[in-house]
Structure 1
Amino acid sequence: MTDDSTHVQGTPAEHQKHRPETLAKRQEILRAASEVFGMKGSSKGTLEEIAHKVGMTRAGILHHFGSKRGLLLAVLQFRDTSAVADLESHHMPGGGGLFRHLIDTVRRNEQRPGIVYTFVTLSAESITEDNPGHDYFLQRYTNLRNEITEALISMARERRTTIDMNKAIMASSAILAVMDGLQLQWLVDGQKLDLSASTEYAIDTIVASVIPDAAESA
């Protein structure tokens, strides 16, 4: 859900970014880690299991990512960039397309509760400035707020209507807050909550509060 420029702290192989073989191995590790953490969560998923999947040792994984926390943060960024890469345009859509993309992402997340658990846990821990994930989540929320605000402006322009910028900015924060809050409820409730339907309802309602009658096009 973020753009590709979001920086993840705690990935010590930054200086190797121009080596294709290193990038390929990191991608392989991230795919394996996404599978393991997606099924088991960050606490039960182990570096040993991930290392086994890619034919490496635990030390080899740590060589690329520094720590398990560094790997977890990289997995979250990998999830975000992969979601955008899967789009036909290979970049975040604008206007009403952005809100459809957010809802589609939630539908995919319903199939990978471990990744949702990892996101909720790490985002909560990132509130302190000395936390390794602080900069990642700060930039992530900043990017998303800006993208949502721009999407609302674009929708208003398409409808040739005016928009209250203060309401648009507040709506962008509210949409992210609702999405994160619903994910937490979904986990606590044993995934019984209809996460995607609840998210779609919340987004449609908030968008319509800024741009009347816009829900059907969001």
Structure 2
Amino acid sequence: MAQRGSYAKGVAKRTEILDTALDVVARNGFRGTSVKELADSVGLSQAGLLHYFDSKDELFTAILRRRDEVDLALADPHADIVEQLITVIRHNADVPGLVQLFASMSTAATSDPSHAAHAYFVERYASIRAQVAAAITLRQERGDVPSGVDPTRLATVLLAVSDGMQIQWMLDPATDMAEHVELVWRLALAAVATPA
């Protein structure tokens, strides 16, 4: 029984660390957040904090996973995935440090397949691309999108625009990421609906 209690306490502490880290990173940014600051904010030493994670990169990858869980909880379950994606992009403007973390970790993960975040990004993009493609397929079944459109290709473009807008927004926070992604989505729908 003691082992179960210890395990539950460990899970609870890890969740506390990640929830606190979301706030700290959102506020201070990826570059402005140290492991020491995160450890101090949850009453642990740096070694104590890293006891819950294999490395600093694994800690920051876990923060990204937790961010995805929180974003999913914020999304309207009745909205399709494209609308949910735009809602999350809108929310990202309120958490600039997490956008910076995402961009920094994705760059590191794409340049090194052994990076702690590599599998996270591969899985994340495959999952979101499949969900967006499924939403496009549903729109095809309703007659909103022509059947000749490849849902996966359109989903891939939409995700690329989303990521590109995050980079532009980090350079110029006056840029409305969600508005631009929504514009591209509407233009894509209009273009595919217009006979050639």
Common fold: TM-score over 0.5: yes
Deviation at 1:33, TM superposition (A): 0.7
Percent identity between the two aligned chains = 29
The answer to whether the 8 Å contact 1:175/1:202 transfers is yes
Deviation at 1:207, TM superposition (A): 3.7
Equivalent residue for 1:150, pick from 134, 147, 161: 134
Matches within 5 A, 1:104-183: 104-127=87-110, 128-159=112-143, 162-164=146-148, 167-183=150-166
**Could you say what the CA RMSD is over the residues aligned between the two structures, in angstroms?**
2.1
Say if 1:58 and 1:132 are closer, same or farther in 2 by CA, change over 3 A.
same
Structure whose alpha-carbon radius of gyration is higher: 2
CA distance in 1, matches of 2:139, 2:16: 39
1:35 correspondence with 2:23: yes
Equivalent AA in structure 2 for residue 199 of structure 1: V
1:64 correspondence with 2:52: yes
Equivalent residue for 2:67, pick from 75, 79, 96: 79
Equivalent AA in structure 2 for residue 180 of structure 1: D
Where does the alignment leave 5 or more consecutive residues of structure 2 unmatched?
none
Aligned twin of 1:44: 32
Aligned twin of 2:13: 25
Aligned twin of 1:4: none
CA distance in 1, matches of 2:18, 2:45: 15
Say if 1:110 and 1:85 are closer, same or farther in 2 by CA, change over 3 A.
same
Deviation at 1:147, TM superposition (A): 0.8
CA distance in 2, matches of 1:169, 1:209: 16
Q: Flag the structure with more relative contact order, 1 or 2, with Cα contacts below 8 A and sequence separation at least 6.
A: 1
Say if 1:161 and 1:58 are closer, same or farther in 2 by CA, change over 3 A.
closer
Q: Which moved more, 1:110-119 or 1:191-200?
A: 191-200
CA distance in 1, matches of 2:10, 2:108: 29
Equivalent pairs counted in the alignment come to 189
